[in-house]
Amino acid sequence: MPGLNPAIRAVTIRALREGFRVLGIRRGWAGLVDLVPDPQADNSAHVRELTEDVVNRAGRTGGTFLHTSRTRPSHLPRDIVPHHLRDKYTAEINDVTHEVLHNLDFLGIDYLIPIGGDDTLSYADRLHKEGVKVVAIPKTMDNDVPGTDYCIGFSTCVTRTIELTHRLRTSAGSHERLLVIEVFGRYAGFTALLPTMAGAASRCLIPEHPFNIERLAETLINDRNRHPSNYAVVLLSEGATMAGEEGMTFEDQEQDQYGHKKLGGIGDKVAACLKELSPRFNQGRRINVLNQRLGYLVRSGDPDALDAIVPMAYGNLALDLIMSNTFGRLVSIHNGCYDTVPIDIVTGQKKVVDVDKYYNIERLRPKYDTFLRQPLFIMTSDI
């Protein structure tokens, strides 16, 4: 995820200068689950001491040099319980929070700064309630962590989506086709809505409002036939659903530890339906469809400027809270200003697009009613 390494860099450099020793937990919560609390054990796969040299090199790059995982210590399946704990935890699903707390004590960690989305941060809230001194940083390209206008990774995701969509236009225009592009967005449609607002597509489909496929076909074909190059583009969130169908479209039924199935395939459905319906709205002539899932392309590579600047500020804001002995907070942006909110906000509500205010359900596109006094990121300040 672009922006993670700059955030780790900012936290590390400021903390070192304040006199702290900094440890990086590898693979997220998995590092604290798998660590062996024995001074003689080799825990280099689970924890790493951070220095300015280490984070300066990594801070300019995308992804996370500490790696990541989908481990949820409060719901750990038996088959991935570490070997040294298997005699103790034998249920199908286990809560190993006691071990996490013990390992934090073993490492001598006084303050914990988790960086992640609402799944990661919901467990951070659990640790806060257990007495751990937690300050959290929001990171998700979907921009759907409640309590903040901005999550690390969102700007790079939107930038990549716009760039890649414009590149794909050359093929769509050359072949006079409809272009269907599927982007990330399980419950919130910000990653489809903002690129559309920026001109990357003529229409977008978001999880917050089920769409009528015939209405989409009619609208999109009308867009195509009015375009000088005879093509039209629709961006759709992976969590978008057709009216009349139950649930989202999944690649398979396997769930991760947070109960999420892997989304994907709504673009395939929409593309097939558009091709089938096209003669009805195009004087009997079929229109072919280009279908592309952007997937991990939008979260790969180096961070853009915003995802280098905001993580720097978030990291320093987290240290400000630690230096003032203020814990259980999530650093945030609200109406263009850096701020903090209680971390339990991540478990108390969902952050989604306000359809009535920001999405035109008839035209399947953003509303452009007014920008006066709107926040920089639009649609994201209703906290």
Q: pLDDT digit of tens for each residue in the chain (383 aa)?
A: 789 999 999 999 999 999 999 999 999 999 999 999 999 999 999 999 999 999 998 888 888 999 999 899 999 999 999 999 999 999 999 999 999 999 999 999 999 999 999 889 999 999 999 999 999 999 999 999 999 999 999 999 999 999 999 999 999 999 999 999 999 998 899 999 999 999 999 999 999 999 999 999 999 999 999 999 999 999 999 999 999 877 766 565 666 565 555 566 899 999 999 999 999 999 999 999 999 999 889 888 899 999 999 999 999 999 999 999 999 999 999 888 999 999 999 998 889 999 998 999 999 999 988 788 777 776 665 54
Can you say whether residue 230 is alpha, beta or left, with left for phi > 0 and alpha for psi between -120 and 50 degrees?
left
Q: Residue 250: what pLDDT?
A: 56
Q: Which residues contact 87 (CB under 8 A, 6 or more apart)?
A: none
Sign of CA dihedral 360, 266, 180, 159: positive
Amino acid at residue number 292 = Q
CA 338 to chain centre: 20
What CATH number has the domain spanning 156-298+354-366?
3.40.50.460
Q: Residue 371: what pLDDT?
A: 81
Q: Give percent helix, percent strand, percent coil of the chain, each to the nearest 5.
A: 40, 15, 45
Distance CA 144, CA 190 (A): 8
4-152+303-343 and 156-298+354-366: same fold? yes
**Where are the chain's structural domains?**
4-152+303-343, 156-298+354-366
What CATH number has the domain spanning 4-152+303-343?
3.40.50.450
- The residues with which 293 forms a beta bridge, in sequence order, are 182
Distance CA 98, CA 262 (A): 29
Q: Residue 336: what pLDDT?
A: 83
Distance CA 275, CA 26 (A): 46
Query: Please, is 181 exposed, middle or buried when counting C-beta atoms within 10 Å of its C-beta (0-12, 13-18, 19+)?
Result: buried
Distance CA 193, CA 200 (A): 10
Grouping H, G, I as helix, E, B as strand and the rest as coil, residue 183 is strand
Maximum Cα–Cα distance for the chain, whole Å?
Answer: 76
Q: Residue 350: what pLDDT?
A: 86
Q: Residue 248: what pLDDT?
A: 65
Distance CA 252, CA 263 (A): 8
Amino acid at residue number 311 = P
Within 13 A of 325's CA, how many CA atoms are on the CB side?
A: 0
Residue numbers annotated as active site: 142
Nearest C-alpha neighbor of 257 from the set 361, 128, 85, 120: 120
Contact 211, 239 (CB under 8 A): no
Q: Residue 163: what pLDDT?
A: 96
Distances (CA, A) of 201 to 100, 161, 353: 46, 10, 18
